[in-house]
Structure 1
């Protein structure tokens, strides 16, 4: 590893402060930043190993919990990421079916929780118009033409275009929008 006569400007990977490196491979501004970064790396590796060992240790229990119809509040908290208070609130409102086996043994039905977290379908968004026939000047309006044709304020026209994700194209000082989409929107209103 050779030394450079030039001072290489770098940013420390630990403290993010700028410094001048003497070698091409220097990553930290000083030895303490290098030591702290090494400790953090070792700590994160250790945490990762602990997570892996916990997963190995409790993999059978996790599989068993996923097959049971009724689970404890603590298990539901871990599986669904809901706080204990929220689960008790849902039980009190009757949204989740629960059974009290004793003072501290509350079991909830897993199917009720699954039903709460079902997939929500988002309506289709309009497909983006490809630049082709629809962006020829003959098949487009300018913003001023739209506001004159439909007696609308130019700012209203702009907000309607933005709200409905209508594609627009600027040519020179004019902004063009497809006639077909503008007519559909303003004729319906």
Structure 2
């Protein structure tokens, strides 16, 4: 059997190092990289299969749990995605009423858990301020503001800082949106 004299520059799919392949179909730089990639693919397939089977089991269990008014702590973990420690802590603090029917037979009301963990109040959205318009005709410089409103430039700078008015510095000039300044100085 003869050897190919082709030397095709490729990059190994496992270690991502450049190598010279002798065939067009070569994917790995060595047997070691080929075996490692094969093992990684098998592990990924196995993990995916385990996740799928766990999901199928959980779906059946959740459907069964949702028909009962009282559930165990481990069933609450599956249903609400909360840790056992959290549920036990809430029971101990009296935030969730529980009934103990014997060793490992603690039952909690599904309704109480739903009331505690499903009603999440979102804070009201703050109004987003529109971006300031720094176009040529829509801005004042500090000097223009002090001349128009008869104020000292230092005072103007303090008012801008205190009211958190956006500014834009271009060269030695500081530009401030007209509408923001007019609102502030119209009230004074």
When the two structures are superposed, what TM-score results if normalisation uses the length of structure 2? 0.64
2:138 matches 1:139: yes
Aligned length: 174
The equivalent of 2:63 in structure 1 is 63
Q: Residues 150 and 186 of structure 1 are in contact (CA less than 8 Å); yes or no, is this contact kept in structure 2?
A: no
The equivalent of 1:100 in structure 2 is 100
How much has 1:87 moved relative to structure 2? 1.2
2:14 matches 1:7: no
1:54-133 map, 5 Å: 54-57=54-57, 59-114=59-114, 115-127=116-128, 129=130
Spell out, residue by residue over 1:91-131, the C-alpha distance to the aligned partner (whole angstroms, 9 max, x if none).
Answer: 11111121111121111222332232433313324336367
How much has 1:65 moved relative to structure 2? 0.8
How much has 1:74 moved relative to structure 2? 0.8
1:141-160 map, 5 Å: 148-149=155-156, 151=158, 160=164
Distance in 2 of aligned mates of 1:109 and 1:186? 61
Spell out, residue by residue over 1:124-158, the C-alpha distance to the aligned partner (whole angstroms, 9 max, x if none).
Answer: 24336367xx333343356897974252696x77x
CA separation of 1:6 and 1:41: change in aligned 2, threshold 3 A:
closer
How much has 1:73 moved relative to structure 2? 0.7
Distance in 1 of aligned mates of 2:101 and 2:154? 69
The equivalent of 2:37 in structure 1 is 37
How much has 1:57 moved relative to structure 2? 4.8
CA separation of 1:60 and 1:180: change in aligned 2, threshold 3 A:
same
When the two structures are superposed, what TM-score results if normalisation uses the length of structure 1? 0.64
Gaps of 5+ in 2: 146-152
Distance in 1 of aligned mates of 2:156 and 2:6? 70
Q: Residues 139 and 175 of structure 2 are in contact (CA less than 8 Å); yes or no, is this contact kept in structure 1?
A: yes
